[in-house]
Amino acid sequence: MIQHPDKNYIDPIEVEIRDQHVYYFHIDEEPDGKQWYYDIKKFLATREYPENATNGQNRALRRLANHFFLNGEILYRRTLDIGLLRCVNTAKATRLLEEIHAGTCEPHINKFTLAKKILIA
């Protein structure tokens, strides 16, 4: 820190303290009724782009689809260290998180082990 030439003190920083913490746990449904991976899954199955998509959106979808693998009706995402992660809809993701966090898999554990359990589930 350096001393301000006009002052002998540092202005205080105002910190606002809330009475209650906010946690966001549930995943909202998609507004159009389609899942987040709908366009990727359709592109991998048919190699057709969505209607009304621009060239930039088509290129982004093509690049994004390189990280995914479609096995029948199940979509997986390829990763460098874990292998394949199954893509699930919002309802199933919420249910998995609730089960794992509630302790049905085991008692509460540290954050790294919990994250690993979520990825495995």
Question: What tens-digit pLDDT sequence spans the chain (121 residues)?
Answer: 566 666 666 667 777 776 665 555 555 566 677 888 888 999 999 999 988 889 999 999 999 999 998 998 999 988 887 688 888 888 888 787 777 777 655 555 676 777 777 777 6
What residue type is 26 in one-letter code?
Answer: H
**According to the model, what pLDDT value does residue 43 have?**
92
Q: What angle do CA 68, 26, 104 make, to 5 degrees?
A: 85
pTM over 0.85: no
Q: Could you tell me the end-to-end alpha-carbon distance of the chain, in angstroms, rounded to an integer?
A: 48
Burial of 118 (0-12, 13-18, 19+ CB in 10 A): middle
Distance of CA 16 to the CA centre of its chain: 29
Q: What is the DSSP letter of 57?
A: H
